Chains A and B, each alone.
Chain A
């Protein structure tokens, strides 16, 4: 099993450009998450999907949109990138959103916005 995969691994954008980060999991998990991690900080939740067909805002949703394409895939879109969105983005999945469930993380996407 590949677990949680993310593409791309690295990306450089210019201010105002758009892009979509892709995430897929092969563990048949119901819930998926997008986090961002800034230097020396913990993870902040951008959006999550408790189950296929649902999405909800996390702590820092502004400037992002998401799509739960099917049970396996959850994408994150930056419509008009800003330098403040320079960060490392992690996708994660879990059996459910209940806090006793372990979350499984992808390797991350390093995004730089110039």
Chain B
């Protein structure tokens, strides 16, 4: 199996700044998803990007995928205190495109 690795492990910024988190993976993927986890809660899906896509937007979120570098980035623009959470990338568990495997996450703190 492969597992996405997020970078950095922790990020602290001021409200209004942009936050960028990166995810690297080892082998070819079909799909990559990003999830958010607020403290003490379950994960919530944010966005899916497929292997033939390079960029997707959803509100203040922008996700990019570079399959040649086997990496993805999640950009949160104009961050808010409510964006404080852990962010995880999830990739195919197998090249067959079945199941997901999650990285260890980036802990984002947005200071008011």
- Verify that A and B bind, or say they do not: yes
Chain A: residues with CB nearer than 8 A to chain B? 4, 35, 40-43, 45, 48, 59, 90, 92, 97-100, 102-108
Q: Is the interface of B mostly helix, strand, loop or mixed?
A: strand
**Interchain residue pairs A-B with the least CB separation, the first 9:** A105-B42, A42-B102, A102-B45, A99-B92, A42-B104, A99-B31, A43-B102, A105-B43, A100-B31
Please name 16 pairs of A and B residues whose Cβ atoms are closer than 8 Å in the assembled complex, sorted by A.
Answer: A40-B104, A42-B3, A43-B102, A45-B99, A99-B31, A99-B97, A100-B30, A100-B31, A100-B50, A102-B45, A103-B43, A105-B43, A106-B42, A108-B40, A108-B41, A108-B42
**Contact code string B31-62 (vs A, CB < 8 Å = 1, else 0):** 10101000011111100101000000000000
- Complex CA gap A92/B30 in Å reads 21
Residues of A within 8 A of B103 (CB): 42
What distance in Å separates the Cβ of B4 from its nearest Cβ neighbour in chain A?
Answer: 8
Q: Residue on B with the closest CB to A58?
A: B99
- Complex CA gap A74/B103 in Å reads 24
Contact call A107/B41, Cβ cutoff below 8 A? yes
Cβ-based interface call for B18 (8 A):
no
Cβ-based interface call for B73 (8 A):
no
Residues of B within 8 A of A97 (CB): 98-99
Contact call B97/A100, Cβ cutoff below 8 A? yes
Of listed A35, A42, A43, A107, residue having the most chain B CB within 10 A: A42
Contact call A4/B42, Cβ cutoff below 8 A? yes
- Complex CA gap A106/B102 in Å reads 16
